[in-house]
Amino acid sequence: MSIHTEIKKVTTHTLQRMKNNGEKISMLTAYDYSFARIFDAAGIDILLVGDSASNVMAGHETTLPITLDQMIYHASSVLRGVNRAFVVVDLPFGSYQSNSKEALASAVRIMKETGAHAVKVEGGEEILESVKRILAAGVPVMGHLGLTPQSIYKFGTYTVRAKEEAEAEKLKKDALLLEEAGCFGLVLEKIPAQLGKVVSESLTIPTIGIGAGMHCDGQVLVMHDLLGITTEFQPRFLRRYLQLGEEITAAVQHYIRDVKSKDFPNEQEQY
């Protein structure tokens, strides 16, 4: 008899069962091994290797500059830290929109080179052919509608999307198309809570919201926002669970003082 208890890995089936049972799904971004390991051990259901790495890891203003190779580097680091969580990786801007063949090639690279469990793409009808081709190869796909950051220059603003009837109707239509194509889940970003409710109730697959209200089947946040590492960003939907930026600053200042005052290292801290 093994003394090790078997870890039950989260799969697309687990996520569907959670929606069916009304159990909310927790999702958080991760970009490296150390944090992924902590989040996985804490019990997170889905880890998203988001292209928000472009912002929070690389310091770019938008998600557009990050490359497929850079996403693969982040994703493979995350996968090495995970035992239980389902890991979804963003296909970066420019790696899936031009044609479905290129989209599949990008998804295959992610799956082969990182060990990820699924990919995520932004958009609806416009990218449906790419979504279908990736799905046909057996790769699970998560959709992403609403405020899709890869289209920020088209929107021109980070304000709430789909407040107007026409955009809300298109979003509902796109959500259904993605479900019918075979997506296993859908991220809804920064849309009215009422629309998040309508979409979540009309789909059989789980919706994961970020600024899309309490009726989504799960919630996602960017880890740097949740932990209080980013401080200048304060949208209404963001709940900060730590002020880690402040704590890190205090710890580093303490270390600097100890080095300068010759308090560190002491007798016990040397060989």
Q: Where on the chain is the footprint of ligand KIV (CB under 6 A)?
A: 29, 48, 50-52, 90, 187, 189, 210, 220, 222
The active-site residue out of 61, 129, 164, 189 is: 189
Q: How far is the CB of 187 from ligand KIV (least distance, A)?
A: 5
Q: How far apart are CA 95 and CA 110, in angstroms?
A: 11
Using CA atoms, how far residue 132 sits from 164, 240, 255, in Å, is 29, 37, 53
Q: Helix H segments across 9-99?
A: 12-21, 33-42, 53-56, 68-79
Q: How far is the CB of 217 from ligand KIV (least distance, A)?
A: 14
DSSP 214: T
CA angle 162, 93, 68 (to 5 degrees): 145
Q: How far is the CB of 233 from ligand KIV (least distance, A)?
A: 12
Of 48 and 141, nearer to ligand KIV (C-beta) is 48
CB 104 within 8 A of CB 63: no
Active-site residue flag, 189: yes
| Closest-CA residue to 224 (of 42, 61, 57) | 57
How far is C-alpha 100 from the chain's CA centre? 22
Of 90 and 174, nearer to ligand KIV (C-beta) is 90
Of 179 and 189, nearer to ligand KIV (C-beta) is 189
Q: How far is the CB of 147 from ligand KIV (least distance, A)?
A: 9
Of 222 and 226, nearer to ligand KIV (C-beta) is 222
Of 130 and 207, nearer to ligand KIV (C-beta) is 207
| Closest-CA residue to 48 (of 13, 78, 73, 14) | 78
Q: How far apart are CA 143 and CA 119, in angstroms?
A: 9
Q: How far is the CB of 255 from ligand KIV (least distance, A)?
A: 31
Just list the catalytic residues: 189
